[in-house]
Each structure stands twice: as C-alpha cells, then as structure tokens.
Amino acid sequence: MTAPVAVIGLACRFPGAADAAQLWRLLCSGSDAITRGPGDRPTRVAAYGTLDDGHAFDGAFFGYSRADAARIDAQQRVFLEVAAQAIDNAAIDPTRPGHRIGVFAGSDPPHPSEADETYWDKDFLTSRVAYKLGLTGPAMTVQSGCSTSLSAVHVACQSLRSGECDIAVAGGVRIAEDSTGYPYLAGGILAPDGYCRPFDHAAAGTVPGEGAGAVVLCPLNDALAAGYEIDAVIRGSACTNDGSHRVGFTAPSPRGQAESVRAAQRLAGVTPEEIGYIEAHGTGTQLGDPIEVEALAAVFHDLPAGEHCALGSVKGHLGHTGCASGIASLIKTILMLRHGQLVPTANFTAPNRLLHLDRTPFFIPTTAQPWTTPRLAGVTSIGMGGTNVHAIVSGPVDRPAPSAPTASATRILTLSTPAADTLPRYRREIADAPNTAATPNSTATTGFSPEDLADTAWTLAAGRRDHPWRTAVVARTPDEAEHALSGAVEPVRATDRPKAVLLFPGQGSWRPEAVRLACERLPAVAEVYDAASALVREQFGIDLADGGPDAPNTVTEQVGLLALGYGLAVQLRNWGARPVAALGSSLGEYTAATAAGLWTLEDALEIVARRAMAMAACPPGAMLAVRRAAAELGPFPPEVSLAIDGVDLAVVSGPEHEIEQYRKLLEHHGIRSKPLATALAFHAPAMRAAAAELERVIRAAPTGRLHFPVLSNRDGGPLSDERARQPGYWVEQMLGTVRLADNVGQLLSRGDRLFLELGPGAALSGALRRHPDWQADNRVIALPGSGNEHDLARSIADLWQVGAHVEPTVLAGPGPYRLRHLPGPPFTRTAQAAAVEPVAAERTSPASPTFTWPGTGGGSSAAAGPRGEHGSLQQPGTTSSTGTGPETQGSALETIATAAALGLPTADNSESPTHERLSIATQFDHTDTVARTVLNAWHESLGVDTFEPDDDYYRLGGDSLGVLHLLDRLATELEITIPVEDFTAHPTLGNLVELARATAVPVTSHHEPITRPVVLTTGSRTPIFFVPALTGGPLAYARIAAALPDRACFGLRPPDRSTSPVRGLADLATYYLAQLDTTAEFVLAGWSLGATVAHELTRQANLLGIHPERLIMIDGHPARFGLPGLLSPEHLAVALPGLRELRAARRGRKLDARNRTGLSSPQEAAAATADLTALLRYHPRPVPVPTTILRAGRTAAQCDRLATHLAGLYPGGVQVLPQPGDHYALLTDTGARFIARTIDTVLEQGAAP
C-alpha cells in the first residue's frame, strides 16, 4: 500500500462553469455546456465546449505588462490563474517559510508566436506558475496525451511520497485557438452532430472542449496535522502503457487499461468489491467506450451482474477537454464524494448494446441520486498513444473537532487584493462564503458560526498572500462580522516596511487592563514586559506583574510605561515598521531615547526606576490641566510652574495650596480646569531634590547613539547625540517645561504621514490632531489603545492595513481554529490582443502644444522646442529666460507632427505650461531617431500606449528577461550597447532615452573609464556599498536594495577583465576602494565570493584610517584567521566542484543546467576560475569592524559555532545569523526581502535589541 494523499484544495474553469460550485450545479442538472451555433457543413460542425473568457486574463494581478500578457500563450495564462485560485482554496500562503510546493501539469499543444518561446512553449507552463507564485518545489511539465492531467496528479503524489515537496499543485489545461467548431471526418473520433454521448446507444463520437483544473495535494497525515480542510483522499494511483498489444498506435487496448486499474487498486489496498463508482474516460465513441467497459469488467469479473458500481463520464457535460480531461474527471468525482451524490451523465438515455452492461456489475445513473454504493471511486484517464492512468479516491476526512473557540474573542479578518477596485467584491464573497456549505438543491443557508468566524480569521491571516490594497474587519460575533463585511470601506494602500513616527505618553496614562491585553496578544510585548518585570522585581522590589496594580504609584507607573512602550517598539520592528522619528512626553522621552538606542533596556530600567524613586521622595504637590494654550493664560502666580506647554492645553504644577488657589482664579474667569491624579508637582522646582540621584545614575550608564531622531521636551527641537549623553540635560528635562506644542509642530513639519502612539490612551495622538498643521491624510494609530479588546484589535488591524507583517496568530486571536475553503482575491480579466502592434510611422498634422524633452538641446535633439531656465517646459510662443522666442514655433510644430505620426497621444497642457505628466511622444522632433526607436521598443516590450519620463519598466510589468530583449533590440537597431546595470539602476523611460542618446554619441579614445558605483536606490540613511560576487555585476543586489527603502544603496562596478590588470582578491579590493565615498559613514556588504572581497576591502580601508560602520557578509566569509581557503574544508567543498564546471566551460562546454552564476562565455568562465582560485589562496587578516554574517542552511547552534571560530578574525565583534533558503536566496523576491529586513534591523538597532 502507498501512503494516502489528501486533496486540500481545488479550482477549475470549464464550459458553463467558472468555478467548482457552478460545475456541481451543471453536473446535477444532467445537461451539457456545449456551445452550438449555425454554420454546420458536411466537413465542419459548429459546436464546441467553449470556456467563457478563455482568452481573457488579469495580467496586472501577476505583475505582467499588457504586452507581456498578450505574448503569453492563453493556456499558460488560464492555468496560472487556476493554480493561484487552487492554492488560495487550500488556504496556503506560498510566501511563508516552510513550504516546498511543487507544480505538475500539462497542456495541449501551444499556439506558437514570434515571441520568445518562454512565452508560449508548454515546457514553461509549470515554471511560470512556480515563478509567479513563488513555489520552490519541483516544477514539471507532464505530457501523456489525453491522460496528461491525471498523469500529473500521479507524478505529484509520487513526489510527495518521496519527500521532494511538502505540497503539490497538479492539473492541466486546454484552450483552443478557434473554439467555434471542429472539422468532421466520417469514421473519426469526433461526433457528426455536436453531441458527446458517453455509453449511449446513439454515441457517434466526442466533441472537443476547453477547460482547466488544478488540485492541491498534501500527504494525509501532514494535512490532518496542519488543519487543512480535506476534500478527498487519493488512496493510490497507477500509470501503464498498452505497449504493442493493440491494433494500432492510436487504438485503445483493454489489456493495458485493465492493468492500470488493477495496479491502482493494489497500491491503494482495496478490492473491486469496495469500489462504488468509476469515472470513466468515456469519450462517447463507438469503439472506445466498449473497450473501456471490457477492461473494467475484466477487473470486476468476480462481482455478480447488477447495480453494484455506478459508471459515468464528465465528457457528456463538457466535451473532451484534451489535456484537462483527467483533472475534470477527478474534480467531478471529488465533488460527488463531497456531496454524497451520484450525478447523471449528460446525453445518456440508453446503453450502447456493445457495452453488454447486463453482464457486468456496472450501471449508469440517469438522475442525481444519493450515493448508496460503497463510497470509494476509481478515476480513469486514457491517453491516445496508450498511456493509461487510474486513481482510487475516497471521500472527505473528518478533521479532529477542535475544542470550542474562546467565547467572544475579537477576531481580525484581513482581506487584500492587488487592485483597489476588487476589494468590495472580495468582501462580499467572503461574507457569502459561509453560505456555500448549503447543497445545490437546498435553500437553507448556514450563516457564520463562532467556529466559522475563528476559522475564517485564521484562514485569511495564515492562508493568503498579502497584497498591497487592504481592508481589515474587526468582529467579536458572527453578526458583527457579516455586518462589517457588507459595509462600504475605503481600501488602504500598504507599503512594505512602513515608515512611522513613534509617540510615547508620559505618566498619567497608565491603564492596567491595556497592559494586560497587550501582553496577551502581542508576543514581543509579553517577552519584553516579562523580562523587565523580573529585572525590576529582583533589583528594586517593584511589582509589575499582570500590568501592575490598578492604582499604581509613581514608581510602578513610570517603570511600567517604559517597559510597555519599549516592548511595543520592539513588536513594531518585528513587524517591519521603520521608526523615522520619536516624540515622548515627559517620562515618554526616556522611552523614546531607549527605543532609538541611547540606552539598553536594562540600563534604562535602572535609570527610570531610580529617577521615579527619587521623585517619589520629593515634597508633595499638585498639578492642574487647563484647556487653554499657555500663551492665553498670561503670567502664572509665584510658585506655580508651567509643566507642559501643549497645543491647546497647559498643565501647571506647584504646591497644593497654590495650585488650588490658581484653580479658583481660573474658575472665576470662566476657564475650565481639572486637577490631575497625582500627589507630586512634576516639572517644577519641587523635583530638585531628585536631581543629584538622576545625574549620578545617568552618568554611570553607558550610552549609544540615536538611530533615529528624538524630539527634546526641553529644547522643542531634535535631541542631538551629544546633548542626550549629558546627565545635565535630563536634569533640566525633569525640572523644566515640556514644550509639547513646539515638539508637535516640529514633528508635523517633517511631512511624515503615519504616527503610532505606543502606550495606553491617545493623549499625544489627540495633541497632533488638534494642531493646525495636522493634515487630513495623516494617519494615527494608538497601540494598545484605551484598554478594551476591540480597540487593541482595531489598532492591530490598522497596522496590518498599512503594511505591518503581523503574525497570523495575532490577527486571528486565540485558538483553536482550522483552515477552511474560502474564496481568494478576485480577478479582473481583460481580453488579450494577439500581439502588440508596433507604433505607426506615417506623418499627420499637428493638433496641440509641444514640450521639449527635459535635459536635451543639441546633438540628436537640436531641433527640439523651447526650454525654460531650469529645464521647465514651455508652450510655443512664450519667451524663456534664455531669450528663445516665437521663432522656435516651427520646430515645435514639427515635434507635434512627429508625435502624431507615431500614433501616440500628445499632452493637452493648455492650463499649465509646466504640467508634470507629459507624453514623451511630444518631446522630440522627427529627426530624433534615437528617441523614436526607444519609444517603439518600449511600446512593444510593455504594450503601453502613453509614455512619461518617469515611467518605471518594472512597475509597468516588465521583468529581467524583458530588459534583455529590450536592450538587445536597441543594440540591433541603433548599433549601441547599454549595460544592463546602467538601465536597471534607474529603470525609467527617461533614463533609457538618455542612455541611448549618450551611447549613440561617438566618444574619443581619451575618455575616462567609469569608476563610479551604480546607484541602486537613493535615501537618507547610512549608505551601503555592495561588492560584486563571482565575476558578477551589482545587479544581483537590486532586489535587496529595493527592499531597503530610504537607504542609499550602491553597487560597486567590477573591472573589465579583458583590459584590467586586476589580479587576485587584494587587487580587486584596491580597485573597489577607489569607488567608495568615504566622506561620511557607510556600510560594506558582499555575497558569496564578494563577501571575502568585502572583508579585504574593509581591511585596506582600515589601513587608510577609513572605518566602515559595519561589514555584512551574505552567505560567504573568509577562512579562519591565518588559514588560506586551500586549508579550509568548507571552502574547498564549495570551490572544487565549481572549478571543475568552469574548466569545462572554458573549453566551450555548456554549463550545467543547475548552474546559477549567470556566466555565458568561456571568457567569463576563465575570469570566474581566476576569482575562485584567488579565494583559495587568500590569507585573511583581522578586521576590527563590527561584522554580521548571514548563513543559508545553518541552524542557530551552527551559527554560534561559526561565530566562535571566526572571533579572532573580527575583534570588533561578529554575529552569525541563520538565513532561510539556499545560497541564491537573494536572487528571489522572498529571500531578498528577508535579507533586507535582517540588514535593516542590524543597522538600525545597533546596541538596541
């Protein structure tokens, strides 16, 4: 017996059925979905099983440009969508670590085009799915004729059982180029009348049809353990071929078919008596059906004649869907097992007499009826050419029922889509999802149950990819969920690793319930708060357990607020949020400084605890909040101090008697005030008794640097590192006024849009909202909020909406829960043109104003129109500051004529002569052949009809292969060479035109070689210089750089090996040293061999007095101190196989298919050989720079051991961290994002956790 495999998800599109639910209704109806039309001729039948929108596709969903989408074969497009839907149906997020998902499928012959074969050849059917969905298991195109898709299921099950993958997607697709009819040949397999009648006495042939289907498979035990919803179980499957035991190559053989059925039953451990249904191949041909029944009768010969086993064929309903026919049969069988019903075969009225059914145990249902025979099925698929596949399938498996979910727990339902306009539809589909449990013939609906709500929240959180457009629903009960999902909500655009300003409240905001809720739901907060509680209990006897006492004193409240605020900051960093500034009020400034890295948490706890204890010992006093700006209150009485100067609130402090007298004075003048719940006068001279203790403890504490700006309560503006390190500053801050209004004004002037209040309540959020500079599109989120579960959940939901990577368990709330079938994000399909037409080139007359391409004038653009002093664009007839006047109108009008001649839209700029979004087609004249060629190539590559200078190639759906084709075309047509990295560093249309122009201009032999690094990204944070790996360029780091927003990233340019005298790693490092900008702090990083070069580069920089802030090595490092690579077993194990491959490549042999170096010539192989040899000969020397090493495929324990071994090489400290994926992870989007997050965390936190 073989191990059973569970079907945990499925999706399909067939004639008359856009999904599985519609297919089930079609099956139950007993009708077919063949489209029949007029136009039958003796040699052609106007009938086909046509798929609705078979040539439509949502390319934007998968990041394809319109042109790329049009180039892709329709079968690949449809199967990509179906595979994505199946994975969503199974509740799997392929981007989460821990899944090795394989994909196995096949298609009918493709429709070749002039595009690159990767767009249409069926060899790339599964690899396209793997690429777009991020599947890392085997991606195999399986072909066996009509049995292709069931063969794919069989191969997928084998791959799962062998451990090659953990989960598999299997299926097939057929989309016809012409689905209006088919040619008829008498005596052939196609029906003369457009009706497919399996097993029927009038059967005369089959009818072709279109369709696609996919199932998601998982070993049964794993599926049960993971909590997947199980639709069916494949108990066993077998694949055979008829061999030569048949009358002809295309003729079926009962012997071969029978053997596949016997083998499948044997592997499944079942007997014919246990089988209650056979889904036959059943093509409806006079010859094929009797042979198939003969083969089945041979296997079931021991059973008496009678109605023991039902027989059916889905082809009566759909037609013969070619390579998708096997998966259609399997999905039909799964649906019958799920619903416990047998369905009729369409177009069957009476049996074909050649079947001799009365001599067999088989019968053919003619109506939908309960499944009373044994609930075990066999599914057959037979390929022309003799490949037979049979699978034994049993019904759904009941999962262990979880204990009741936590009563009235607050759930967060997270929904995201690639496009904003599909979110409302997605919300409705999720709201309707609980009702789909009703049977097709039932009018009852199930509605949400508490279990449904918990399972739905868990499935949406753990079983869906996160898309950019998001909405989140917070609900405690099923009614709340249904009501919220049915309402209209504005979608939110998420950003990866959102920038945020952190706000930390001061004393007076304490709410024990808010602390308890935060620790229950937020893992990092619980970890930090528990550690802080243990530390202050042991050192100071302070009890913070369970959120501290309900009526805290000064000491417990201040220490608790620090622990909570810092824990929330750590939680946000774990979720990928990037602090860009922080404001704390009073005690909150200590939390802000600690979160920014000034002190460690342990030192900050001691500082705040001793400060609070010293303050508690000060003379008693009182404080009063006045709802007026301080400037409106005039001078204060003696001994009354202004403690907080807020936006529209003033807090005064002083002795109790004086504060009470001041309150009465305000009341007399009609000014409302409120005494604060404190017995001390904070931010007043009464605190002077605590100054000595505060100064002592701060002076003793080590300090780091602030990793992001912190606003000073005392100064009103940013707090400098130097001032933050001075104990006297913190004494001033304790005694003086908190200039909160100035702080808020400074904060809002930065232009930040996201503000996070980290502590109970929303006092600082309110101050920001009341400030006159507050913008309506600003967003503020208070975490944990006011102290109730709903507010906390709403804040978490809001954070997820803006892009935080919140853990699924946090989103779903307390368990238990199970995964369930739910709709995925809907598609918005559009019809795909057969090809993108090239831009026309005939002239037409001008029609609108024209503008010059920014930065041109002369060269190939000498006739361009007028330009302003600073590159601003002007209308013809206006006078620029350079004196250009109306005489330029002739050239401008010629430019417009060129735009129209190209068939491109011209910009209507009548309202503003400096309109920012102008069609490039209007920005060059008819003599500019370079720009015209670039536009034409851009248009054909992406399929876009409008052009702007800042259009980004990748954002419009282009990919790396498209870049190569684009640049290759320009090289051919313009006889120029544009380096890939020069374009991809700034992949805009404007940059490409400028590169083409610059390259097209002849250069003298005396030009200086380019030694500047490639700019990968720009930003304000400490720049990173990336060192190229094995003979590679900086492009390998593009994905990492893109995932490091607001951080300048540069790729060092490698030398030209054909002309450069560079030899060995030391020479290479010297070459790169000249490209570094050493005038400010910077970080060095390298991958693979580039890591060792980065080490040597750091060493040489140190000798010149240049000290990088940190050295980062990505899955590479030198041998231990004093040892060359030749004496390092690890380095030898990596280098020697590579050297053997490269030696063969130098002799002209093609590199192994598994090789991912990107080397494409013997010359490059020779350079790579030299680099690897240099690595083995290199003797590393110590580098006193803090160093971080990421290692793929290593456990935490192995990383710790490596750090110990390398400690002598890095006296400045070395940390080794595990990296998911393999050596090439940085070349994938998922791997690059993880590496970028790790790098950012290391660089941002420094001494802070």
Structure tokens at 29: 């109806």
- Annotated catalytic residue, options 12, 28, 55, 146: 146
Long-range contacts (CB closer than 8 Å, 24 or more residues apart) made by 35-41 = 35/179, 36/194, 37/180, 37/181, 39/180, 39/181, 40/181, 40/194
CA separation for the pair 683, 652 (Å, rounded): 9
Cα 1075 from Cα 1088, distance rounded (Å)? 20
Contact between residue 796 and residue 783 where contact means Cβ atoms under 8 Å apart? yes
For 110, which DSSP code? -
Catalytic annotation on 790? no
Distance CA 161, CA 451 (A): 32
Dihedral angle over CA of 1001, 1006, 1012, 1018, nearest 10: -30
For 226, 227, 822, the CA distances from 91, given in Å and listed in that order, are 11, 10, 8
Where do we find the tokens 């007076």? 508
Give the Cβ contact number of residue 339 at 10 Å: 20
Torsions phi, psi for 519 (to 5 deg):
-70, -30
281 in catalytic set: yes
* Secondary element (H or E) of residue 692: helix 691-700
Under a CB-based contact definition with an 8 Å cutoff, are residues 161 and 310 in contact?
Answer: no
Q: From the candidates 55, 154, 281, 986, give the one annotated as an active-site residue.
A: 281
Q: Is 248 exposed, middle or buried (0-12, 13-18, 19+ CB in 10 A)?
A: exposed
Give the whole-angstrom CA distance, residue 683 versus residue 636. 15
DSSP H or E segment with residue 1071? helix 1064-1073
Give helix then strand counts, H and E, for the chain: 38, 37
**55 is known as an active-site residue:** no
DSSP 926: T
Q: Vertex 1095, ends 1089 and 1096: CA angle to 5°?
A: 95
Q: Which residue has the tokens 């807020």?
A: 646
Instruction: Decide: 492 and 580 in contact? Cβ < 8 Å.
Output: no
Alpha-carbon span 261 to 1227, nearest angstrom: 45
Cα of 119 vs its chain's centroid, Å: 23
- DSSP 8-state class, residue 1125: G
Q: Could you tell me if 1049 and 1016 are in contact, meaning their C-beta atoms sit under 8 angstroms apart?
A: yes
Q: Supply the DSSP symbol for 716.
A: S
Q: What is the DSSP letter of 776?
A: T
Residue 1010 β-bridge partners: none
CA distances from 77 to 70, 483, 1046 (A): 9, 36, 36
Catalytic site residue from 55, 154, 317, 320? 320
Asked whether 496 and 803 are in contact (CB, 8 A), the reply is: yes
- What residues contact 1086, with CB distance under 8 A and at least 6 apart? 1026, 1027, 1028, 1029, 1092, 1093, 1094, 1095, 1112, 1113, 1114, 1116
DSSP string, 133-177: HT--S-EEE--BTBTHHHHHHHHHHHHHHHTS-SEEEEEEEE--S
Residue 550 buriedness (CB in 10 A; 0-12 / 13-18 / 19+) = exposed
Strands 309-312 and 362-363: parallel
> Terminal CA-to-CA distance of the chain, rounded, Å?
53
Q: Which residues are catalytic?
A: 146, 281, 320
